[in-house]
Amino acid sequence: MSEFFHSVTLDRDKCQGCINCVKRCPTEAIRVRDGKAKIIKERCIDCGECIRICPHHAKLPIFDPLSIMEDYKYTIALPAPALYGQFNNLDDVDILLTALLKLGFDEVYEIAKAAELVSDSTRKLMSQGALAKPVISSACPAVVRLIRVRFPELIHNVLPLHAPIELAARISKQAAVKKTGLQPEEIGTIFISPCPAKVTAVKMPLGTEKSAVDGVVAIRDVYPKLLGLMKEVNIPNEMSSAGRMGIGWGSSGGEATALLNERYLAADGIENVIKVLEDLEDEKFTDLDFVELNSCSGGCVGGVLTVENPYVAKARLKRIRKYLPVSCNRIDDVIPREAKWDARLEYLPVLQLDSNVDAALSKMNEMNEIIARLHGIDCGSCGAPSCKALAEDIVRGFATEDACIFNIKAQLHNLEDKISGLKKGELE
Amino acid sequence: MSQKIIMNFTVPGDDFTRAGEASSAVKRALKQLGLNSDVIRRVAIAMYEGEINMVIHANGGEIVVEIGSDDVQMILTDHGPGIQDIALAMREGYSTAPDEVRNLGFGAGMGLPNMKKYTDEMTIDSIVGQGTTVRMVVRVPQS
């Protein structure tokens, strides 16, 4: 595994070299080079915006095929709460969970269940005053990665607890080892995911050395199979064991409201997330205890691996939650070890011009000189998202001013003038 | 002699919705330069407070920021009414901000005190009827 893995790949035949993804990327991590979109791996936060925006469907999310189940003797399905919102007229979550067994899984462990444990742990840690306020949710892997590259000052505000998926995988695997007597590697924990960022979170985890999740399959892959299987379920098994709070995590605001504390803010959509983080960094919010941030609009229901419109899915989650108990899962007084991060989040200064401040200053001066020479219309024809980004690429040594078509045009005009000047000279 | 970056801003006095843009731009530059994150935070907050003050009280003005590897200097100049009593203005909770900006959460009387708190040096020169110049310096700790 290279130092940076990302959950997006490029279909080179489909990529037209347009700059839709380049312009959309919130960390300016994409450039068009030799007619194809390339990702600057250190900068990518796996938000999936390029996958969403690409009009040619050339940006493809990476996830595991459902056949990954065959690699294990015993398999545990870990359905995201967002999955519950994909189906029309689903009143009873048990029908869906039973259908997952019919699909071939030996066991189902709802992520909503682990979410309630994370909520309870967060409530306890906050009431103990153990966390720096405002506490920033660590559930969305794209947000955590964004903070790591762009907002170092906020790293110590990030909730040092694993996302519910990680906790669900750890708890369910431990229990299955006990129950079956199998080795941990013979048991497969398979996440049914709305989001490719979770693939990266599993392969290159933050907050731990190794993830307990063994496979990540896409909701949109499993969805058509489940539709058929759900119809075959006559009497569902009584399986569901999560309440309103856990299922609420599937859409924006769910995690925050589960803290039973009114001093929260919940923002979704990567642009909004960035604005909130900038304001947090400037200490513009003084009365906040908790900040929930989701990279996708609507929260996890807005993930690129889902099927349904996120707002429809959100409305459905609301309906499913309606007559459920508030919460079904609690921790003891002590926060379980497997819920806590076992590695620190470290700042990754990839946006810096140079690790030496003096060198960075001279590069920035050089950059400003280049910007003054460029046309300034941010056309993107050079393959960079803006003239400023091109100037930055030039001082970093990744591009030259000849990448700018306006510069080339000016040079041509110059040449033309010279030639016509010469001709004139000849005639006289 | 190490290099310096000079950034010039004109702060418009007639559009309150644009207040804070200059300090955001400086913050972005400081991050790109890789300055100590505590320095970035202090500069961003102090300059933001100063910029807001210029808009609320003085109909805008000009800001010159000089970034070096040793320190960041901010000079905020306005041509507003000036400050009658600087010592009083420096007192926490004292504010002459109008109601319409108080509704937005400004006017708590913490602007100047915060600017002083977050910077290593601050001087205010003000002539009533002519304007105010605030000079602030945040020093970069040398490792």
Q: Does A378 touch chain B (CB under 8 A)?
A: no
Q: Do B24 and A278 touch (CB under 8 A)?
A: yes
Could you read off the pLDDT of B92-101 as tens digits, one per residue?
888 888 877 7
Query: What is the pLDDT at residue A1?
Result: 40
Mutate to test the interface with B, among A156, A280, A361 (most CBs of B within 10 A): A361
Q: How many CB atoms lie under 10 A from the CB of residue B6?
A: 12
User: B90: which DSSP letter?
Assistant: T
Residues of A with CB below 8 A from B1's CB? none
Region B86-113: what's the mean pLDDT?
A: 82
Distance from the B17 Cα atom to the nearest Cα atom in chain A, whole angstroms: 15
Q: Do A352 and B33 touch (CB under 8 A)?
A: yes
**Among candidate residues A81, A113, A165, A119, the one with its CA nearest the CA of residue A261:** A119
Could you read off the pLDDT of A190-204 as tens digits, one per residue?
999 999 999 898 888
Q: How many CB atoms lie under 10 A from the CB of residue A36?
A: 15
**Among candidate residues B54, B23, B55, B49, the one with its CA nearest the CA of residue B111:** B49
Distance separating alpha carbons of residues A338 and A168, to the nearest angstrom: 10
Region A10-33: what's the mean pLDDT?
A: 95
Supply the pTM of this predicted model.
0.85
List C-alpha distances in Å: A50 to A195, A200, A209.
13, 16, 28
Residues of B with CB below 8 A from A354's CB? 34
The two beta strands, A74-79 and A187-193, are parallel
Picking from A74-88, A361-375, B15-29, which range would have the lowest pLDDT averaged per residue? Answer: B15-29
Q: Does A351 touch chain B (CB under 8 A)?
A: yes
Residues of A with CB below 8 A from B40's CB? 153
Number of CB pairs, chain A paired with chain B, less than 8 A apart:
60
Query: What is the pLDDT at residue A140?
Result: 96
Residues of A with CB below 8 A from B34's CB? 349, 352-355, 357, 360
Distance separating alpha carbons of residues A142 and A44, to the nearest angstrom: 9
| Cβ pair A138, A158 in contact under 8 A | yes
Region A254-283: what's the mean pLDDT?
A: 93
In the predicted structure, residue A255 carries a pLDDT above the cut 80 = yes
3-state secondary structure chain A: CCCCCCCEEECCCCCCCCCHHHHHCCCCCEEEECCEEEECCCCCCCCCHHHHHCCCCCEEECCCCHHHHHHCCEEEEEECHHHHCCCCCCCCHHHHHHHHHHCCCCEECCHHHHHHHHHHHHHHHHHCCCCCCCEECCCCHHHHHHHHHHCHHHHHHECCECCHHHHHHHHHHHHHHHHHCCCHHHEEEEEEECCCHHHHHHHCCCCCCCCCCCEEEEHHHHHHHHHHHHHHCCCCCCCCCCCHHHHHCCCCCHHHHCCCCCCEEEEECHHHHHHHHHHHHCCCCCCCCEEEEECCCCCHHHCCCCCCCHHHHHHHHHHHHCCCCCCCCCCCCCCCHHHECCCCCCCCCCCCCCCCHHHHHHHHHHHHHHHHHCCCCCCCCCCCCCHHHHHHHHHCCCCCHHHCHHHHHHHHHHHHHHHHHHHHHHHC
CATH of the domain at B27: 3.30.565.10
Q: Do B69 and A361 touch (CB under 8 A)?
A: yes
Query: What is the pLDDT at residue A420?
Result: 86
Query: What is the pLDDT at residue A4?
Result: 76
Distance from the A305 Cα atom to the nearest Cα atom in chain B, whole angstroms: 33
- Torsion over CA: A347, A350, A351, A352 (sign): positive
List C-alpha distances in Å: A275 to A110, A150, B101.
33, 12, 21
Q: Which chain B residue is nearest to residue A283, measuring alpha carbons?
A: B45
**In which residue ranges of chain A is CATH 3.30.70.20 found?**
1-62
In the predicted structure, residue B1 carries a pLDDT above the cut 70 = no
- DSSP-based three-state secondary structure for B137: strand
Please, which residues have CB within 8 angstroms of residue B98's CB and are 6 or more apart in sequence?
Answer: B56, B107
**In which residue ranges of chain A is CATH 1.10.15.40 found?**
354-428
Class of residue B59 by CB neighbours under 10 A (exposed 0-12, middle 13-18, buried 19+): middle
Distance separating alpha carbons of residues A30 and A380, to the nearest angstrom: 11
Q: Does A132 touch chain B (CB under 8 A)?
A: no
Q: Do B34 and A150 touch (CB under 8 A)?
A: no
Q: In the CATH scheme, what architecture does the domain A66-128+161-250+300-339 have? A: 3-Layer(aba) Sandwich (3.40)
Query: What is the pLDDT at residue B108?
Result: 79
Distance separating alpha carbons of residues A242 and A111, to the nearest angstrom: 9
In the predicted structure, residue B2 carries a pLDDT above the cut 80 = no
Region A138-145: what's the mean pLDDT?
A: 96
Residue B70, both tokens? 């040793």
| Cβ pair B56, B40 in contact under 8 A | no
Distance separating alpha carbons of residues A87 and A308, to the nearest angstrom: 8
Select from B3, B45, B69 the Cβ nearest to the Cβ of A365.
B3
Q: Do A352 and B48 touch (CB under 8 A)?
A: no
Residues of B with CB below 8 A from A353's CB? 32-34
Query: What is the pLDDT at residue B26?
Result: 94
Number of separate domains in chain B:
1
Residues of B with CB under 8 A from a CB of A: 2-5, 23-24, 27, 29, 31-35, 37-38, 40-41, 44-45, 48, 67-69, 140
Distance from the A370 Cα atom to the nearest Cα atom in chain B, whole angstroms: 14
Q: Which residues pair with A268 in a beta bridge?
A: A294
Query: What is the pLDDT at residue A360?
Result: 94
Distance separating alpha carbons of residues A271 and A21, to the nearest angstrom: 14
The DSSP H or E segment spanning B9 is strand B5-12
- Quote the mean pLDDT of chain B: 90
Distance separating alpha carbons of residues A157 and A136, to the nearest angstrom: 6
Which of 244-283 (A) contact B at CB < 8 A? 278, 281-283
Range of the domain at B49: 5-139
Which of 65-124 (A) contact B at CB < 8 A? none
Dihedral pair phi/psi, residue A355, rounded to 5°: -75, -20
**Among candidate residues A193, A197, A209, the one with its CA nearest the CA of residue A141:** A197
- Quote the mean pLDDT of chain A: 93
Query: What is the pLDDT at residue B13?
Result: 84
List C-alpha distances in Å: A38 to A15, A19, A28, A59, B27.
10, 11, 11, 10, 28
Q: Which chain B residue is nearest to residue A369, measuring alpha carbons?
A: B5
Q: Which chain B residue is nearest to residue A356, measuring alpha carbons?
A: B34
Distance from the A274 Cα atom to the nearest Cα atom in chain B, whole angstroms: 13
Q: Which chain A residue is nearest to residue B4, measuring alpha carbons?
A: A361
Q: Which chain B residue is nearest to residue A282, measuring alpha carbons?
A: B45
Query: What is the pLDDT at residue A426?
Result: 66
Residues of B with CB below 8 A from A358's CB? 2-3, 69
CATH number for the region A1-62 comes to: 3.30.70.20
Picking from A119-123, A274-278, B110-114, which range would have the lowest pLDDT averaged per residue? Answer: B110-114
Region A162-190: what's the mean pLDDT?
A: 97
Q: How many CB atoms lie under 10 A from the CB of residue A126?
A: 17
Q: Do A361 and B35 touch (CB under 8 A)?
A: no
Could you read off the pLDDT of A315-334 as tens digits, one per residue?
999 999 887 888 889 898 88
Tell whether domain A354-428 is in CATH 1.10.15.40: yes
List C-alpha distances in Å: A240 to A78, A104, A246.
12, 18, 11
Residues of A with CB below 8 A from B45's CB? 282-283
CA angle A304, A310, A314 (to 5 degrees): 135
**Among candidate residues A105, A117, A111, the one with its CA nearest the CA of residue A237:** A105
Residues of A with CB below 8 A from B2's CB? 358, 361
The rounded Cα B55 to chain-centroid distance in angstroms is: 11
**In which residue ranges of chain A is CATH 3.40.50.1780 found?**
66-128+161-250+300-339
| Cβ pair A82, A219 in contact under 8 A | yes
Distance from the B33 Cα atom to the nearest Cα atom in chain A, whole angstroms: 5
Select from A278, A282, A351 the Cβ nearest to the Cβ of B32.
A351
